Structure 1
Amino acid sequence: MTATLYAYAFLDEFVLLYPVYALLFADSGLSVGQISSLFVLWSLTGVLLEVPSGAWADAVSRRLLLWIGPLLGAAGFALWVLVPSYWAFAAGFVLWGARGALGSGALEALVYEELDRVGAADRYAHVMGRAHAVGQVAVMSAMGLAGPVFAAGGYPAVGAASVLACLLCAATATRFPEHRTPAAESEDGWAATLRAGLAEVHRDRRVLGALLLVPAVTAVWGALDEYTSLLVRETGVPDAAVPYLLMVIWAGVTVGSLLSGRAERLGGTGLAALLAGAALALAAGALTERPAGVVLVALAFGGFQLATVLADVRLQQRIEGTGRATVTSVASLGTELVTIAVYGVYGVLGSSFAHGTVFAVCAVPYLVTALAVARRRRERGGRE
């Protein structure tokens, strides 16, 4: 299964349109306001579909959703390059948002339960950490290849490559093993799985706490990633050098993923220290306004990525019922909502302050989360 997972993770992120799609929108005549509205539409699609799709994954086949999702992404990317216009871009973002919602929750639940079936649930952090790392390598590879492919064939070429990656991703998903009885065959289907997943969150405070930790750790740095190119440009480097410094940041994220297996045993105190250290590194690196500060930002993002994987591990370990994908999707819904809020805050602050200052301000929620984790650790008398 792990070979299939790693291939899926690579193809899922190997999209050559990623580094240039904003340029496609601008070159098609869209204003900054219109482009921002597309990002909001993208996030709202995830908000609306996240939990229902998780319940669907529990009710039917998780593997089914994992291969349908990339097909939707392929359709969206094809629309962008074949009929570039605001409404085509909007439709593409809806399809892309649906793709993300279908995979979110379903992938984590499938991997955890397949590992648990063979008595290897304790390897979940190691396996998912490597999968994240593979995906990040795919992002960096796409950044590196997008330039020459774009120079050779323009937007149609990078679009065709992106569609092909999605189709291969869908084909790879059909190879996932799935040894479970869908709830739709044993209960009353989707509604039952949704109720079961939400009930587990309601009755078990440990599940609720682990669920809330996911958006607290994931959302802010995930939103900041959209603005890293602006932060890097603010250091004074030429535009041609921006992609290379972005690759430094993504290298940090990749290292964070690879450390997940070794760091799985970090207790609450260790996780709190990790979050606090990453927050301080983010603030210090952003405020330097120098290219060297990007190294600290990369270190911070690596810490946040490590904490993101560990938060997912804690959640999966605490879920005991049949609604695993549903509960995981509720956590992802929280992440989407907080991400939208961060976009709004960044938009307000970014119009008055330098990007480095805004990044430093956005480090504060991580210090608050670190204090909350450490306090909860003390209240539980050192027990996890």
Structure 2
Amino acid sequence: MSSLLHRTGPFAHRNARLYVLFTVLYNARAYYPVLAVFFVDLGLTLERFVFLNLMWALAIFTLEVPSGALADTLGRKKLMVFASVLMVIEMTILLFAPKNGGTLLFALCILNRLLSGTSEAAASGADEAIAYDALPEEGRDQAWDEVLSAAMRWRAAGFLIAMALGGLLYDPVWLAKLGIHIPVEIAHRLPAAVVFCQGIACVIITSRLEETPRHEEGTTGERCRTAFRLTMQTAKMAFTTRSIAVVIVGGLLIDSVARNFATVNSEYFRLIGIPEWAFGFIGAATGLTNFFVPEIARKLNARFSPLGVLGIAGALAVLALALLAPAWPWFGILPSMMLMTLLGLVGFTVSRHLHGCADSSQRATLLSVRGLAFNVGYGSVSLGFSLLLAKMREVHGDDAFRQALLWQLPVIAVGIALFFAWAWRVKSKSGR
């Protein structure tokens, strides 16, 4: 981290420094610790909120890989500025969406999720690629490890601040104890207002990036056709190259489960009796834990293969879900935090492997293929969990959420176990 502050090593290059700032402000969003309860308190049911996550994933599914190819052909900086502008617009919608607005509220929330997914798709791949290709070719892999580790640590610090701030701002009772008396409706919008300001900062940061000279020459139409061809070629390569496909699929299995829980964890905290003002502090504690994940990830990846590291993460994910399912008061915080830290471990492992496999001309596209696969997995799990919640609501009423946590465990455990048993068998037969 000191090399970032002193602008030495890989951080002598502007793009590397701006990438770290961008990834912190873009990802460490103050409404995350209250995400589920924010939409529920606006007037949506929990089932509709989970359905919104499917809309988010749908936008990713449609645009993730094409946006990566456009970044490799039209320019990565343009895609990142576009992503930042969309971030500002999606936050504006949340700031002004009418509470208990019925169909209008639901429509605006869907629009918010679609814009959010489009923004994520535009930034995904382009952000890492524009930083990676700005580094000198000599020793680039080692330099990227340093940049990625620093980005994860700063992001963890950003999450620590954002989570604590978001939980406190959302709770007007806590604000009143500090002598700040504001209406509940305004307090519930404050985390979104903070993220709106982060979006403005992201627009400024991305406008200062230096474009890496990797995009094609020619007219816009020719470059778009090139982007389409690159999309098809890279997607085919990703899923026909066994070493890449296995790591992507293994990563998405764990990532989708952890991310689905991340979107409903505030509702889980309500279930186990945690006061709302504490949500942010739990998120901050998770962020503090994530501060140590990069070093753990580096050591694990140095000792084991990517599939081996993902196997460890998969076992820990199943253990965390098993401990979450009983919904024990307060104790449930610990497996929740463990599940969240796995996101960083999986992200580091998959990103490191793909950068080693990718050619510079298709780097953003391959990273977008990864993002597409991860978000298809996330959307599928969200849809399945939404349908499960609806079914549990019919049978168990107000206890639906607890029952859904119990029912999802065996399905996910068997799915992860079968995949890794097959993957290791294939690996042993191929001798790789």
**What TM-score does the superposition give when structure 1 sets the normalisation length?**
0.85
2:233 maps to 1:199: yes
Cα distance change of structure 1 residues 159 and 341 upon mapping to structure 2, 3 Å threshold: closer
2:53 maps to 1:39: yes
Counterpart AA for 1:309: F
Does the Cα contact within 8 Å between 1:285 and 1:294 map onto a contact in 2? no
2:19 maps to 1:5: yes
Q: What is the aligned counterpart of 2:424 among 346, 356, 374?
A: 374
- For residues 173-211 of structure 1, what are the alpha-carbon distances to aligned partners after superposition, in whole Å with 9 as ceiling and x for unaligned? 233333323124499312223323432443551444444
Does the Cα contact within 8 Å between 2:53 and 2:382 map onto a contact in 1? no
Alignment of 1:12-51 (within 5 A): 12-20=26-34, 22-51=36-65
Alignment of 1:348-363 (within 5 A): 348-350=387-389, 351=392, 354=403, 356-358=405-407, 360-361=409-410, 362-363=412-413
Cα distance change of structure 1 residues 108 and 171 upon mapping to structure 2, 3 Å threshold: same
- For residues 139-198 of structure 1, what are the alpha-carbon distances to aligned partners after superposition, in whole Å with 9 as ceiling and x for unaligned? 332221124445456245444322111011121123333332312449931222332343
Does the Cα contact within 8 Å between 1:66 and 1:106 map onto a contact in 2? yes
Cα distance change of structure 1 residues 109 and 22 upon mapping to structure 2, 3 Å threshold: same
Instruction: Mark the runs of 5 or more structure 1 residues left unpaired by the alignment.
Output: none
Q: 1 CA distance for matches of 2:194 and 2:306?
A: 43
SS in 1 for 2:292: helix
Counterpart AA for 1:144: A
Alignment of 1:104-183 (within 5 A): 104-115=124-135, 117-150=137-170, 151=172, 152=180, 154=186, 155=188, 157-183=190-216
Does the Cα contact within 8 Å between 2:86 and 2:115 map onto a contact in 1? yes
2:111 maps to 1:62: no
Does the Cα contact within 8 Å between 1:256 and 1:302 map onto a contact in 2? yes
Q: 2 CA distance for matches of 1:316 and 1:49?
A: 21
- Paired residue for 1:279? 317
Counterpart AA for 2:201: L
SS in 2 for 1:117: coil
SS in 2 for 1:76: helix
- Paired residue for 2:224? 190
Per-residue deviation, 1:72: 0.9
- For residues 335-383 of structure 1, what are the alpha-carbon distances to aligned partners after superposition, in whole Å with 9 as ceiling and x for unaligned? 12111211122234442663542463334433334334433432332x3
Q: 1 CA distance for matches of 2:223 and 2:364?
A: 14
2:375 maps to 1:336: yes
Instruction: Mark the runs of 5 or more structure 2 residues left unpaired by the alignment.
Output: 1-14, 99-104, 173-179, 393-399
Question: What percentage of residue pairs aligned between the two structures are identical?
Answer: 19
SS in 2 for 1:114: coil
Per-residue deviation, 1:285: 2.5
Does the Cα contact within 8 Å between 2:31 and 2:166 map onto a contact in 1? yes
2:108 maps to 1:88: yes
Q: 2 CA distance for matches of 1:297 and 1:15?
A: 18
Does the Cα contact within 8 Å between 2:35 and 2:266 map onto a contact in 1? no
Cα distance change of structure 1 residues 244 and 115 upon mapping to structure 2, 3 Å threshold: same
How many pairs are equivalent? Answer: 382
Cα distance change of structure 1 residues 8 and 258 upon mapping to structure 2, 3 Å threshold: farther
Per-residue deviation, 1:223: 1.6
Computed over aligned residues only, the root mean square deviation of the Cα atoms, in angstroms, reads: 3.1
- Paired residue for 1:229? 266
Q: Between 53-62 and 13-22, report the one with greater CA deviation.
A: 13-22
Q: 2 CA distance for matches of 1:254 and 1:363?
A: 28
Does the Cα contact within 8 Å between 2:130 and 2:212 map onto a contact in 1? no
Q: Between 68-77 and 28-37, report the one with greater CA deviation.
A: 28-37
- For residues 98-143 of structure 1, what are the alpha-carbon distances to aligned partners after superposition, in whole Å with 9 as ceiling and x for unaligned? 1111001212222332336353223434422432342343233222
Q: Between 42-51 and 155-164, report the one with greater CA deviation.
A: 155-164
Q: 1 CA distance for matches of 2:143 and 2:299?
A: 10
Q: 2 CA distance for matches of 1:379 and 1:116?
A: 38
